[in-house]
């Protein structure tokens, strides 16, 4: 059975993570993996999470199965976090199920889409999070790219985005990142979200939103403004969300899938199909992460502590963006990096060539993904000079 198998290459980012861990250089810098890091370079458990876990330890009543949709309190809290006081919530048009992380949510969405329309093409931004392509292919769906990020201007090529989306037919899916676009950091503004909504209505394709960084860009509500705008104007939509980053629950694997239907009855039918998909993949999600998020969001005290911690993470990331630009100027790194300060979330492309990226790793133990995407949160006061000096030397 297994003899004819060929090894699957390691995911390039996870491979870099292993190399980084094995590197003995005390000055090593990791700008590769997409986790938030504080000034000390750590990814600590949030205090709000610790408190919720303490509560759970003392109050958990049962380990009996949760059911396919997971924790009902969590699902309600996530619906509110994503949509706020939105009409789709009030009118009962949105149904949410807990999933194992954002990845699990996307995989459920992929299988759900395949059941709606097995020949649907899924249109993703060029570039996008690499796993998007694997996830939709795994469900047997074809993935197509539409122009999005412009490496010449380090901004959007929105005219080309519009041109391509205007040809996407009904029955296909268009995947957009709610905020903090991974890997480019370039988000749509509200006017551009409206343009996409107009094209979706005109063409009849279905929008899938991936919301993996709510609260990391401009704020919890601001980061959901695009998806809320769309939800007001289209009849059907899917939102896949993750609590990995904003609650720091990466390894607890907690996310959600929300399905908006034309009316409550149609939403219910679509939801039952999604639950059928869940049943056939993992049957039911694990309880821990959902309970932590639900406990935080149902307590005023813990919610306000979480807001403080989330604000702190966002403020640090945004501060780092300007800090990096200034530091690169001060150290004479050739090129204009002003765009970094204008982008959102943890990621930006440096726009440097593969040879320089390899030299940075070999000679300076600075780890950057081959596409030149960096996680800005990997920079801190103690490594910024070293990083900028190395870049200045390698790029000059």
When asked if residue 345 is in the footprint of ligand PLP (CB under 6 A), the reply is no
Phi, psi of 36 (to 5 degrees): -70, 140
When asked if residue 242 is in the footprint of ligand PLP (CB under 6 A), the reply is yes
Measured in residues, the chain has a length of 396
Considering only residues 174 to 193 of the shown chain, the ones binding ligand PLP according to CB under 6 A are: 177, 182
Task: Kindly write down the DSSP assignment for every residue of 229-285, as one continuous string.
Answer: HHHHH-S-EEEEEE-TTTS--GGG--EEEEEE-SSHHHHHHHHHHHHHHHHHHTSS-
Chain-centroid distance of CA 85 in Å reads 23
What's the CA gap between 109 and 135, in Å, rounded?
A: 9
Per-residue binding string, ligand PLP, 48-87, x by CB under 6 A, is ----------------------------------------
When asked if residue 102 is in the footprint of ligand PLP (CB under 6 A), the reply is yes
| H or E element at residue 206 | strand 206-211
Tokens of 45: 């458990």
Q: Kindly tell me the burial class for residue 203, based on how many C-beta atoms sit within 10 Å of its own C-beta (0-12, 13-18, 19 or more).
A: middle
The one among 16, 34, 111, 220 contacting ligand PLP by CB under 6 A:
34
Q: Pick the catalytic residue: 210, 223, 252, 291?
A: 210
Are 239 and 258 within 8 A, CB to CB?
yes
When asked if residue 226 is in the footprint of ligand PLP (CB under 6 A), the reply is no
**Smallest distance from the beta carbon of 177 to ligand PLP, in angstroms?**
6
When asked if residue 101 is in the footprint of ligand PLP (CB under 6 A), the reply is yes
Given the complex with ligand PLP, which of 106 and 390 has the nearer CB atom? Answer: 106
- 129 classed as catalytic: yes
Considering only residues 282 to 321 of the shown chain, the ones binding ligand PLP according to CB under 6 A are: none
Considering only residues 193 to 222 of the shown chain, the ones binding ligand PLP according to CB under 6 A are: 210, 212
The stretch among 242-250, 259-267, 307-315, 376-384 that binds ligand PLP (CB under 6 A) is 242-250
Given the complex with ligand PLP, which of 149 and 250 has the nearer CB atom? Answer: 250
What's the CA gap between 4 and 27, in Å, rounded?
A: 43
* 53 SS3 class: helix
- 210 classed as catalytic: yes
- 245 classed as catalytic: yes
Residues annotated as part of the active site: 129, 210, 245
By the criterion CB under 6 A, which residues form the site for ligand PLP?
A: 34, 101-103, 129, 177, 182, 210, 212, 242, 244, 250, 255
């Amino acid at each position: 059975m297994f003899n004819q198998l060929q090894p699957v290459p390691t995911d390039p980012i996870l491979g870099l993570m292993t190399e980084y861990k094995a590197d003995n250089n005390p000055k090593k810098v990791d700008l590769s993996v997409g986790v938030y890091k504080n000034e000390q370079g750590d990814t600590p458990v949030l205090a709000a999470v610790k408190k919720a876990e303490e509560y759970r330890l003392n109050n958990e009543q049962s380990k009996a199965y949760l059911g396919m949709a997971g924790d009902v309190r969590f699902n309600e809290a996530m619906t509110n976090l994503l949509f706020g006081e939105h009409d789709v919530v009030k009118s009962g048009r949105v149904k949410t199920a807990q999933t194992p992380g954002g990845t699990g949510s996307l995989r459920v969405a992929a299988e759900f889409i395949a059941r709606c329309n097995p020949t649907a093409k899924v249109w993703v931004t060029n570039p996008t999070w690499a796993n998007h392509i694997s996830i939709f292919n795994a469900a047997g769906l074809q993935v197509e790219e539409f122009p999005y990020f412009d490496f010449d201007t380090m901004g959007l090529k929105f005219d080309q985005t519009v041109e391509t989306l205007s040809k996407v037919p009904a029955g296909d899916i268009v995947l957009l990142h709610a905020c903090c676009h991974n890997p480019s950091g370039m988000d749509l503004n509200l006017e551009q979200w409206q343009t996409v909504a107009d094209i979706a209505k005109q063409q009849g394709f279905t929008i899938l939103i991936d919301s993996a960084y709510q609260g990391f860009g401009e704020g919890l509500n601001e980061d959901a403004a695009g998806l809320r705008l769309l939800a007001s104007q289209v009849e059907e939509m899917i939102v896949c969300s993750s609590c990995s980053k904003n609650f720091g629950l990466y390894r607890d694997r907690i996310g959600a899938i929300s399905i908006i239907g034309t009316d409550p009855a149609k939403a219910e039918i679509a939801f039952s199909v999604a639950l059928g998909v869940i049943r056939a993949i993992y049957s039911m999600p694990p309880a821990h992460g959902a309970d932590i998020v639900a406990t935080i969001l149902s307590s005023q005290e813990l919610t306000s502590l979480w807001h403080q911690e989330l604000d702190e993470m966002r403020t640090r990331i945004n501060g780092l963006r300007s800090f990096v630009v200034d530091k690169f100027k001060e150290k004479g790194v050739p090129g204009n990096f002003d765009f970094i300060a204008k982008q959102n979330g943890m990621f930006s492309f440096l726009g440097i060539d593969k040879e320089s990226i390899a030299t940075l790793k070999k000679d300076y133990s600075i780890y950057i993904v081959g596409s030149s995407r960096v996680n800005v949160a990997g920079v801190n006061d103690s490594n910024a000079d070293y990083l900028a000096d190395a870049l200045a030397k390698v790029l000059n």
